[in-house]
Amino acid sequence: MIVRLALLAALVLVSSLARAEPYLAVQQGLKCGACHVNPTGGGMRNTFGEIWGQTQLPAKRIDTGDPWTGEISRFLAIGGNFRASATATDVPHEDRTNSFDTDEMRVYLDFRAIPDRLSVYVDQQLAPGGSENREAYGRLWFDNQRFYVKAGQMFLPYGLRLQDDTAFIRQVPGINFTTPDHGVEAGLELANWSAQLAVSNGTGGGAEVDPGKQYSLRVEHIQSVWRLGASFNFNDAAAGKRQMQNVFAGVRTGPIAWLGEVDYILDDSFEPRRKQAIGLLEANWLIMKGNNLKLTAEYFDPDREVAEDQQTRYSLVWEYTPLQFVQLRVGYRNYDGIPQNDLQNRRVVFAQINGYF
Amino acid sequence: MRDIVRRAALRVALAASGVICICSCAGNGEGLDENGRPTGGSSTQLTPTLASIQDNVFTPICTQCHAGAAAPLGFRLDESSAYAMLVNAPSVEAPSLVRVQPGNPDSSYLIQKLEGTAAVGGQMPLGQPPLPPATIAVIRQWIANGALQQMTAPGVVPMQIHAIVPAEQAALVPERGEVLLQAEGELNVASVSSATVTLMRSGGDGGFTEGNEVAVQPIRIEVRSLTPTVLAIRPADGSWVADRYRLTISGQGAARMMDHEGMQVGDFSVEFTVAGAP
C-alpha cells in the first residue's frame, strides 16, 4: 500500500503520461519503456503505465479505490486491449460501404519467474477470428536493467511504433503489429539512450525457408523536449534482399507533440530493384486533459524510378478519453494516389472504441 | 531563453509540416497502369483467370504486404509466386486447409480470408476495405473452374521449371519439407515419375563429386494442380536427413519429362540444404 501511495504521489509530480502511442512518450519526455513492459513499447503496460493511464490520461477518473495495476502477484501480471470500430469507406466508382468491425482483442501475460530479472511474455490476439499468437518470448535483464536479451517471437525494433498499422511507415516496411518474427533481440537502456539489435528469420512470422537472416538496429536519443533516432534493417532473404533505413524524431512545442519519420527502402525482391521513400509528419495537440487532436500527413513513393506514382494520406483524428480504461476515437482519412487506382483514392470515416487495462 | 528555444522549435515544426504538405502531392498517374507501373495505358477487366485476378487484385492490393522478403508468414502473391503459393498449398494459419482447392471455393482458405470467415486472424486485405462481393465472386469462379494457371504460349525454347520452395541456395525446413516446383506450362503427367525426377544427397560432405552421394528413394511426387504445372516432391516416408541435396529433372534422354504437347522440358536442377532434420 505504501508503495502504491508513493507511486501515485510520484505520478502526480510527474504530471501526465499515457497509453501506447509514441506521441504520448514525446508529450511526457519519457522512453517507451517507462510505461510498457516491453522496452521498445507497445503491448502490455507496466505498473507505472497502468496507473498513469487511469489517473492522468482520462478527462475524469472514477474513484474505484486502489487502481488496477495488472499485477496478480509479484510473479504474474496481465493486461489487454480491445478495439471495435464503425467505418464508412468511399471508393470512387463504387458504392459506399459501412461496417462494424472488431479490430482486435488482445491479452498480455507477463510471468515474472524472477521479478525485474527474468520473465516470459505472451501477447495473444483473441479476435477477430480465432486465437493467434503475436508475441511469445523470454526476456532477461542484466546490470540493474541496463541491458536485456529477448528470444522468441517478437515485434521487431524499427522506427516509430505507431498503433496504426495502416500508416505508410508501418505498412510498407512490413514491420508492424501483424508481423512478428522469430529471433533474438539485445537491448541497451540508459538514461537518455535506447538501442536495440535484433536478428530474426526475416519471414514475417512464417517458417524459415532460407539461410539468410534479418537484422534490425534501432537507436534513439531521448531528451525531455525532443528525441532523435535512426533505424536500419537488412533482410537477407532468398526472395530478394531488402534494406531499409530511417530517421525519426519527436519534439514538444507547448501543447503539441510532433512526430516525424523518413524512410528509404531498397528492395531487390522486385525486378528491377525498387527504391522507395516514405514520410510521416504528425501533430498531436493536447486540447485539454483527455482530449487529443491528431493531424497526420503521410507520403509514399513506391518507386523512385517511376514518375507520378506517389501516394499521400492525410488524417484528422480526435481521441477522447472520458474515463479510465476507455478511449473513443473519431477520424477521417483521405487517401490520394494515381487516378487509375480507385483504392488509392478512398476516403474513410471511422469511430473506434478502445478499451485498455 | 526557454521561450526562445520553444518558439524556434515551433517554427521549425511548422515549417517542416508546411514543406511536407507542399511537397507531398500524389502522382497524376500519367503513363502508368492501375498498379502504378509504366505501361501503354491499357486496362483489363476482371475475369475469372489468374492473369486477370493477378493484375486487378493480387498485384494492386495484396502485394502491398504479401510480396518479397517481408511477406507476412512468407506468403507471397507477386506474379511469379502466386500460383504455386496458392493452389493446393497448405495455409500456415490453418494447416488443415489449403489456400486454394481447385473446384472448391468454399474450402479454400483464400476465400475464407477474403470473406472474413476464416477461423484465424482478420479479414483481408487487412486495414483496407474488404474486396467488393463482385470481385470475390470472380475469384470464387476462378477456383470453381479449377484454378487454372495462365499458360504461356509454347515456343521453340523448352518449357522451363522453377523452384518456388526452396529458392536457389536456400534451406528446406524439415517439418514442412517438400520441394515445390512450378512449370511454365502444362506437363505431361505420364512423364512425371521417379525416372525423370532424381533426388540425391551429398553423403554428408556437401559436395556431389566425391562418389559418396546417396540416391533418395523412393520419393513421392505429387501433382498439385488440375492442370499439371505444380509439383511437390519429398521422400516417400517424409523424413529428411540433415544434408545437402540436389534435385534434378531431366528433359533429355530416354527418360525425360515432357510438356503436354510431347516436347521436352528444359533440364532443371536445384541444390538446397536440410538442416537439423531428425
> What ipTM was reported for this prediction?
0.74
Does B71 sit within 8 Å of A308, measured CB to CB? no
Extract long-range pairs of A309-312: CB within 8 Å, 24+ residues apart.
A309/A338, A309/B27, A309/B29, A309/B32, A309/B36, A309/B37, A310/A337, A310/B24, A310/B25, A310/B26, A310/B27, A311/A168, A311/A335, A311/A336, A311/A337, A311/A338, A311/A344, A311/B26, A311/B27, A312/A336, A312/A337, A312/B24, A312/B25, A312/B26
With CA atoms as reference, report the closest residue to A354 among A163, A165, A166: A163
Domains of chain B, first to last: 50-144 (no CATH), 161-274 (2.60.40.1220)
Please write the tens of the pLDDT for every residue from B88-147.
888 888 888 899 998 888 889 999 889 888 877 778 888 778 888 888 888 988 898 888
How high is the pLDDT of residue B269? 84
CA nearest to B271 within chain A: A210
CA distance A274 to A272: 6
Q: Which amino acid is at B47?
A: T
Determine contact, residues A312/A290, Cβ cutoff 8 Å.
Answer: no
Instruction: State the smallest CA–CA distance between residue B172 and chain A in angstroms.
Output: 6
Judged against a pLDDT cut of 90, whether residue B193 lies above it is answered with: no
Contacts of B60 in chain A (CB under 8 A): 341, 343
Instruction: State the smallest CA–CA distance between residue A63 and chain B in angstroms.
Output: 36
| Residue scoring higher pLDDT (B272 or A169) | A169
Judged against a pLDDT cut of 80, whether residue A12 lies above it is answered with: no
How high is the pLDDT of residue A66? 87
Judged against a pLDDT cut of 80, whether residue A342 lies above it is answered with: yes
Does B27 sit within 8 Å of A310, measured CB to CB? yes
Judged against a pLDDT cut of 80, whether residue B69 lies above it is answered with: no
Extract long-range pairs of A215-220: CB within 8 Å, 24+ residues apart.
A216/A156, A216/A157, A216/A158, A216/A175, A216/A185, A217/A157, A218/A40, A218/A157, A218/A158, A218/A159, A219/A193, A219/A194, A219/A195, A220/A31, A220/A193, A220/A194, A220/A195, A220/A248
Judged against a pLDDT cut of 70, whether residue B22 lies above it is answered with: no
User: What is the 8-class DSSP label of residue A155?
Assistant: P
What value does the mean pLDDT take over residues B244-269? 80
> Which residue out of B4, B22, B32 would a mutagenesis test of the A interface target, given it has the greatest number of A Cβ atoms within 10 Å?
B32
Residues in CB range of A8: below 8 A, 6 or more apart: A51, A55, A67
Which of B24, B67, B171 lies closest to A269 in CB terms?
A: B67
Question: How many CA atoms are closer than 13 Å to the CA of A324, on its beta-carbon side?
Answer: 19
Let me know the angle formed at the C-alpha of B8 by B4 and B12, rounded to the nearest 5 degrees.
170
Does B132 sit within 8 Å of A165, measured CB to CB? no
Instruction: Collapse the DSSP code of A290 into the 3-class scheme (helix H, G, I; strand E, B; otherwise coil) and give the result.
Output: coil
Please write the tens of the pLDDT for every residue from A159-212.
999 999 999 999 999 899 988 999 999 999 999 999 999 999 998 888 787 888
How high is the pLDDT of residue A2? 40
Which domain, by its residues, includes A90? 2-356
Which range is most confident: A208-212, A328-332, B163-167, B230-234?
A: A328-332
Please write the tens of the pLDDT for every residue from B26-65.
888 888 887 787 875 445 678 888 888 988 889 888 988 8
Does B132 sit within 8 Å of A94, measured CB to CB? yes
> Which residue out of B24, B176, B272 would a mutagenesis test of the A interface target, given it has the greatest number of A Cβ atoms within 10 Å?
B24
Q: How many interface pairs between A and B have CB atoms less than 8 angstroms apart?
A: 212
Which of A87, A208, A343 lies closest to B173 in CB terms?
A: A208
Provide the percentage of residues in chain A whose pLDDT is more than 90: 76
pLDDT band for position B152 (cuts 50, 70, 90): very low
CA nearest to B168 within chain A: A238
How high is the pLDDT of residue A142? 93
pLDDT band for position B23 (cuts 50, 70, 90): low
Q: How many domains does chain A have?
A: 1
Does A91 sit within 8 Å of B35, measured CB to CB? no
Look over chain A and give the mean of its residue pLDDT values, rounded to a whole number: 90
Does A129 sit within 8 Å of B120, measured CB to CB? yes
How high is the pLDDT of residue A18? 36
At B158, list the grid cell: 523448352
Contacts of B74 in chain A (CB under 8 A): 203-204, 206-207, 209
What value does the mean pLDDT take over residues A256-265? 97
pLDDT band for position A140 (cuts 50, 70, 90): very high
| Residue scoring higher pLDDT (A280 or A101) | A280
Residue A18 maps to which CATH number? Answer: 2.40.160.10
Look over chain B and give the mean of its residue pLDDT values, rounded to a whole number: 80
Q: Which helix (H) or strand (E) holds A3?
A: helix A2-14
Does A174 sit within 8 Å of B129, measured CB to CB? no
| Residue scoring higher pLDDT (A18 or B175) | B175
Determine contact, residues B162/B82, Cβ cutoff 8 Å.
Answer: no
CA nearest to B79 within chain A: A270
How high is the pLDDT of residue B43? 52
How high is the pLDDT of residue A209? 77
Does B21 sit within 8 Å of A297, measured CB to CB? yes
Judged against a pLDDT cut of 50, whether residue B199 lies above it is answered with: yes
